[in-house]
A and B are shown apart, each in its own frame.
Chain A
Amino acid sequence: MPNWLVLATEALPAAALPAAALPPLPVALPLLVCALLLIGSRALPIWLPDLVAVLTALAVAALCATIAGRASAEGPLVTWFGGWTPRDGAALGIGFSADAASAGIATFAALLFTATLVFAWNFFDRTHGHFQILMLLFLAAMVGFCFTRDLFNLFVWFEVMSVTAFALTAYRLDDAAIAGAMTFTVTNSLAGILMLAGIGLLYARAGALDFADLAAAVARAGHDPVTAAAFCLVAAGLMIKAAVVPFQFWLADAHAVASSPVSVIFSGAMVAMGLFGLAKLVWVVFGGSAQIRDAVGVFMIAGGAVTALFGGWMALIQRHLKRLLAFSTISHAGIMLVGIGALSQGATAGLLLYVVGHGLVKGALFMVAGILLALRSSVDEIALRGRGRGLAGAGAALGLAGLLLGGLPVGLLDLGARALHGALEAGGHRLALAASLLGTAMTGAAVLRAGARIFLGWGGRPGNEGRAPTLEEQERGNRAYWVMFVPCGALLVLDLAAPTGALVAAAPGWTRSFTGRAALPGDAGALALGAAWMPAASVGLALFLAAFALFGDRVAPAAAAHIRRLHAGPAALLNASHSGLVGDDVVWIVLGLAVLALALAVV
C-alpha cells in the first residue's frame, strides 16, 4: 500500500472500527442524512441543506478512502448484512465485498459529489433541500453499487441511481429538459427491465444471487443458452447506462438538457458506473464461461472501438457545448469498453484508472459549461464566440481539460490511457488501439475548438458544427464566479496531482483483488504502459484538428471548403439520426440487443 494512503487513512477516526463494520457506513450515512433532511425540510434555514450535503459527501469520501486503505492492506472487507454469514458454502443473505479498487471508485464518486455540491451551492435554494436529498441518495446508490456482491442488490442500487437521475434531469422543467428526461427515463427503465430479466434467468440456472455462488454455477453450466441469455440481458442493461453504441442515443439529450451540476455527475460518474458494473460482472460472475469470454472479446472490442470513433466524430460536429461534452463522454465510454473487452489484468487496471481520470476531467469541463451558462447565459460555442473574455480562469480550465482529454501526457487520465494502450498492444488489438487514439484526439479537438472560439474569439466561420442542433438556455447567475471555479479547478488539480508512481505500484494488486482471480492464460498480469509517442500523437492530432477547424479557411481555403463539403452530408445524417425521439432510441436498443445475442450465439 502506498505510504500516502497509509498516512491519509490512519488519521481518520473510522480506521479504528472492525473491518466488517466499515462497508455499510458510507451507504447508511447519506441515507440517514436524507431522512433527517426530509423530516426537517420545512424548518431548516436555506443554507443548511447545502452545508449538510457537502459535509456528508466529504464524510462518505473519507469512509470510502479508509475502506480502500484497509482493503489494500488486508484484502477485501466483507460484510454480511443481518449477520447472515454463508452456510455450507452458499450465501443466505446479502454481502458487501469492498476491495481496494471498488472502494477507490466509490471514493472518487464521493469526491466528485462533494465538488459538485460546492459548485451548486445556492443553485437549488428554493427546493426545501429536495435537490440535496436526491443528490445524496444518488451517491449512496453509487457506493452500494460499488460494494455489493449480490446480483439483485446490484439491481436495486442500479434502480435507485436511475430514479434519482430521472428526477434530477427534468429538474429545470423547461421543454428541453422534460423531453430529454422522458427519453432518458423510458430507455433507462428498459435497461432495468432487461437487467432484471437477465437476473431471473441466471437465478433459474444457478439458484443463487451471491456473486461467488453465481460464478461457480456459471462455470459449471459451460456452453449454455440460459447463462448466455442472462449475460446478454444484464450486459445490455448496463451498456444502456454506459452509453455504448447503439445504446447511446438517450445520453446526448439527457446530458445536454440537465442542469450543469447534474451533468457533472452524469458524465463523470453515472456512465462510468455502468462500465464499472459491467467489468465487475464480466470478471467476477461470468468469467468462468468460455462462451461469454469469447463473445465479450469480440463484441466489446468492436463495440468499444466503434463507440470511440463515433462519439469523437459526433463531438466534432456539435456547437452546443454540453452536447459536445456528452458525445465526448460516449467516445471515452467506448475506450473504456475496449478495456473490458481486452480481458486482461493490465487493461482492467487501465480501465479503473481511466474511469477516475476521465470523471475528474469531464466533471471540470461540465463545470466550465455551467459557469458559462450562469455568467454568459449560453453554451452555444458560435453564439458565445469571443464572449468568454473576462473569464480567464474558466478559459484556462477548459483549455487544460481539453488537452488532457486529447491525451496530454500528465496526470491520472493519461496514466489510465497509457495502461489501456499497453494492454491493447499486448493483446494484439491494434485496430481498437488506433480507434481509441483517434477518438481521444477528436474529443480533445472538439473541446479545444470550442474553447478557442468562446474564450479567444478565434474561428469566425463555423464549419459543419454550425448546423448541429442547439438550445438557448441559461442558469441562475446567483453564485459567485469563484464558488463555481474552485471546485472545477480542484478536480483538475486532483487529476494532475495524482501520485502516478504509487498508483502504478499498487494497481496490479488492486486489480487482482477486483477481478477476483489471477490472470487468464496468455495474460502477463503486469501493468504495461503504452509507448510515450501514443498520447503525444493523439494530443498533436487534437491540436491539429482544432487548428484546422478554426483557421482552415484562412490557411488553405480550397482544401477546407472541399473537406467541409465532403463532410456535410455524413454530419447532417449523423445529427439527424439523433432525433431525440424515444421510439427511435428503443429501436436502436433492440437492434443492439440482437447484435449482442448474435455475438453470443455465433462465437
Chain B
Amino acid sequence: MSLLPYATAAWLLGIGLYGIVTSRNYIHLIGCLAVCQSATYVLLLGIGYRRDAIAPIFYDHPPGTPAVDPVMQALVLTDIVVGATLTALLLVLALQVFKRRGTLDPQKLKPMHPPSNAGTRDAGPREAGFAGEARPEPQP
C-alpha cells in the first residue's frame, strides 16, 4: 500500500480534530492537538522517504549514497520544537484554569459572561475587582 502513509496522516488529523471537538478535559484536548501535530510529522516524513536509502548522514556511508530527503527531516525537527513550545504554553494555561476554576472541562469555561441585569446596571469604579482582576458574573 504505497498510499498508506498519506492516508495515516489524514486519519490522524481527522481523529485529532474529533477529539478536540468532543473533549471534556483540557489535558485530553492538548493531547488531541498533539495528535493533529503528529499528522504533520507523518506527512512530512512520508513525503521525504525513499526506499532502500540511508538516513541523510554520511558518516558511516560515503557521500553520494542514496539517502532520504534531509529537508523534510529538518522541517520535522522544527515542527517538534513548535509542538513542544505550544504544549508547554497550553499546559500552563490549563494549570491556571484549574487553579482558578477548579475544573478542566472546556465546556465550562467561557471568556465573556452575559450581563447580570441587562442595561440598568451602572457600576461604580470601585465596584469591580481589584486591579487587573475580572470578576465572573453569576450565570443565569
Contacts and interface: CB of A to CB of B under 8 A. Distances in A.
A598 to B, nearest CB: 17
A579 B119 contact: no
Contacts of B134: 172, 174-177, 257, 471-473
B128 interface: yes
Interface stretch (B51-59, B60-68, B95-103): B95-103
Given A152-B75, A177-B134, A468 B86 contact: no
Interface string A373-414: 000111010110100000000000000000000000000000
B21 A586 contact: yes
A462 interface: yes
A572 B82 CA distance: 39
A324 to B, nearest CB: 12
B17 A586 contact: yes
Nearest to A203: B47
Q: Main SS of the interface on chain A?
A: helix
Interface hub of B79, B107, B110 (most chain A Cβ within 10 A): B110
A275 B117 CA distance: 39
Contacts of A176: 111-112, 134, 136
Nearest to B108: A581
A182 interface: yes
Nearest to B127: A472
Contacts of B94: 182
B13 A197 contact: yes
A470 B111 contact: no
A469 interface: yes
A378 B123 contact: yes
B40 interface: yes
B119 A166 contact: no
Contacts of A472: 123, 127-129, 134-135, 137
Nearest to B115: A470
Given A319-B115, A476-B132, A179 B110 contact: yes
A590 interface: yes
A178 B110 CA distance: 10
Interface string A467-505: 111111111100000000000000000000000000000
Nearest to A173: B96
Contacts of B26: 182
Q: Main SS of the interface on chain B?
A: helix
B40 A582 contact: no
A580 B133 contact: no
Interface hub of B22, B29, B39, B40 (most chain A Cβ within 10 A): B40
A181 B129 CA distance: 20
B132 A174 contact: yes
A462 B119 contact: yes
Contacts of A170: 92-93, 96
A582 B106 contact: yes
Given A175-B100, A470-B113, A580-B111, A193 B20 contact: no
Interface in A249-280: 253, 256-257
Given A175-B134, A461-B119, A583-B22, A182 B128 contact: no
B24 to A, nearest CB: 9
Contact of B107 (A173, A185, A469, A583): A583
Contact of A186 (B29, B47, B122, B128): B29
Contacts of A201: 43
Contacts of B37: 189, 193
Nearest to B100: A175
A196 interface: yes
B36 A190 contact: yes
B21 A583 contact: yes
Given A152-B75, A185-B89, A178 B82 contact: no
B111 A180 contact: yes
Interface string A568-603: 000000000001111100110010000000000000
Nearest to A383: B123
Interface in A153-196: 156, 159, 163, 166-167, 170, 172-183, 185-186, 189-190, 192-193, 196
Nearest to A474: B128
Interface in A454-470: 461-462, 466-470
A179 B82 contact: no
B114 A467 contact: yes
B131 interface: yes
B112 A583 contact: no
A182 B109 contact: yes
A183 B86 contact: no
A320 interface: yes
Contact of A466 (B13, B43, B90, B115): B115
Contacts of A167: 89
Interface string B1-45: 000000001000100010011110010010001001101100110
B129 to A, nearest CB: 7
B113 A471 contact: yes
B40 A200 contact: yes
Contacts of B43: 197, 200-201
Nearest to A465: B119
A196 B86 contact: no
A471 B135 CA distance: 8
A293 interface: no
B125 interface: yes
Interface hub of B33, B112, B113, B121 (most chain A Cβ within 10 A): B112
Given A182-B97, A471-B112, A385 B40 contact: no
A533 B23 CA distance: 51
B107 A377 contact: no
Nearest to B113: A469
Contact of A179 (B20, B111, B131, B135): B111
B120 to A, nearest CB: 8
A417 B111 CA distance: 33
A6 interface: no
B109 to A, nearest CB: 5
A561 interface: no
Given A197-B39, A469-B110, A586-B21, 9 more contacts: A172-B132, A174-B132, A175-B136, A182-B97, A183-B111, A193-B33, A193-B39, A319-B115, A470-B112
5 contacts: A175-B111, A177-B134, A193-B13, A475-B132, A583-B20
